[in-house]
Structure 1
Amino acid sequence: MHDHIAVLLLAAGAATRMRGRDKLLEEVAGQPLLARMIARAQATGYEVLVTLPDLAHPRALLAKDTHRVPVPDAAEGMAASIRAGVRALPGHITGVMILPADMPELTTADLRNMGEAFEASGSDPEGAICRATGQDQAGHTVPGHPVLFPRRCFDALKQLSGDAGARHVLNGEQLRSVALPAAHALTDLDTPEAWDAWRQQHDRR
């Protein structure tokens, strides 16, 4: 059990681009995407936190075996989820791995690779930020998710605002790139069309 690392799954967004469908409840291999992502995160042995619109939301039942973090101001954007999630971290955590929950290609092995990169630096709370990269359709290496922040960044993450996520925390930072397979770090599914195309490509229903 790597009890100094936590996985923070961001699952409080309204998914407005899905036009009435909830992307985190879309089925992948016979289970809702959020359940799949939680299971993969839990299999790492890391502590798992999940941000949610509220504890009465249908997503909350899927996260019942995690540390559930309600985000009443989730409409503000991703920053509200990150703020709430980082504020809820247990005191012994020295690194938090943050990722949107709508990334179905990320695997347990990918999340472990991120944690191992952090641990290779001695899990130094003053060390580098680890950021996943993937290959885009042109074969270029592109930064993506997850991003694993050491504890020295926690205060800045707690002060985020708006819908730009943690982008400005990365500015001027030393980043340690962690290459994940194919487009695992890049694939997120925000629209019905994106879901249909992904399912057709991967033959996943």
Structure 2
Amino acid sequence: MNTSPTIVVLAAGQGARFHPARHPLDQALHGSTVLGTTVAHALQTGLRVLVVTTERLVPLLRPALPLRDLLVLDDASAQRGAGQSIAAGVRDSPDSAGWLVLPGDLPMLRPATILAVAGSVATHAVSYAQHGGRRGHPVGFAAELYSELASLQGDDGARRLMARYPAVGVEVDDAGVLVAVDPDDDLDAPRWPLRRALAG
């Protein structure tokens, strides 16, 4: 088994977090895209980053990631919800010392925050980043939950798993844990990240 958890970035884009007509992950942001920025921050942790995505978004991720770290779902699988994407990522990395589930639309999340949650995976079955007492992402799952994670389906599967096990919040000074991109966001607005965090 590896000694570090794997970051599973959810970018299949068919779950409840994503608008059916407009896709936030390919919006331009800071010379990259929303998804590209999220993945770049994940890569800065030094942990393995595995992106679960669809064919449409692969061009956003190459050449930042090798093909072995891109898990491309067909449309039918992507439409089954976030649980399907989490399960696919976990099954693709069975030797990991846990998993950090990170939605692809969180480009303001800091690498240090990801590492803080990663540090809790070894001692807690479920953990998550929180800011000001508010729960955010990423969510960490210990290796002992492999079987349950690998069989998740739908958009609510991970929530039910979090309810079943004691979940520990890792308090961080990072509002990016709460800032998800919406297709209607003005990403050029100077106060966009702060506005989204306070409005959530």
Quote the residue 1:132 is aligned against: 129
> Structure 1: where are the runs of 5+ without partners?
136-140
- Which amino acid in 2 is paired with 1:174? P
Quote the residue 1:94 is aligned against: 97
Tell me by how many angstroms 1:166 deviates. 0.6
Quote the residue 2:168 is aligned against: 176
- Percent of residue pairs bearing the same amino acid type: 27
Asked if 2 retains the 8 angstrom alpha-carbon contact of 1:12 and 1:71, the reply is: yes
Seen in structure 2, the aligned counterparts of structure 1 residues 95 and 198 have a Cα distance that, compared at 3 Å, is farther
- 1:70 aligns to 2:72 (yes or no): yes
Q: TM-score, normalised by structure 1?
A: 0.80
CA distance in 2, matches of 1:63, 1:157: 27
Tell me by how many angstroms 1:84 deviates. 0.7
Q: TM-score, normalised by structure 2?
A: 0.82
- Which amino acid in 1 is paired with 2:4? H
Asked if 2 retains the 8 angstrom alpha-carbon contact of 1:131 and 1:177, the reply is: yes
Tell me by how many angstroms 1:12 deviates. 0.7
Tell me by how many angstroms 1:48 deviates. 0.7
C-alpha RMSD of the superposition:
2.6
CA distance in 1, matches of 2:190, 2:81: 30
Matches within 5 A, 1:1-205: 3-14=3-14, 17=19, 19-20=21-22, 22-54=23-55, 57-61=58-62, 64-65=65-66, 67-72=69-74, 73-91=77-95, 93-118=96-121, 123-124=122-123, 127-135=124-132, 141-192=133-184, 195-196=185-186, 199-202=189-192
- Which amino acid in 1 is paired with 2:167? L
- For residues 146-177 of structure 1, give each alpha carbon's deviation from its aligned partner in whole angstroms, at most 9, with x where no partner exists: 11100111111111111225101111311121
2:46 partner SS: coil
CA distance in 1, matches of 2:143, 2:55: 26
Quote the residue 2:197 is aligned against: none
2:79 partner SS: helix
1:37 partner SS: helix
CA distance in 2, matches of 1:162, 1:202: 30
Asked if 2 retains the 8 angstrom alpha-carbon contact of 1:54 and 1:60, the reply is: no
Asked if 2 retains the 8 angstrom alpha-carbon contact of 1:55 and 1:70, the reply is: no
Tell me by how many angstroms 1:61 deviates. 2.8
CA distance in 2, matches of 1:131, 1:56: 27
- Report the count of equivalent residues: 188
Asked if 2 retains the 8 angstrom alpha-carbon contact of 1:9 and 1:98, the reply is: yes
CA distance in 2, matches of 1:16, 1:173: 27
- Which amino acid in 2 is paired with 1:87? R
Seen in structure 2, the aligned counterparts of structure 1 residues 34 and 63 have a Cα distance that, compared at 3 Å, is farther
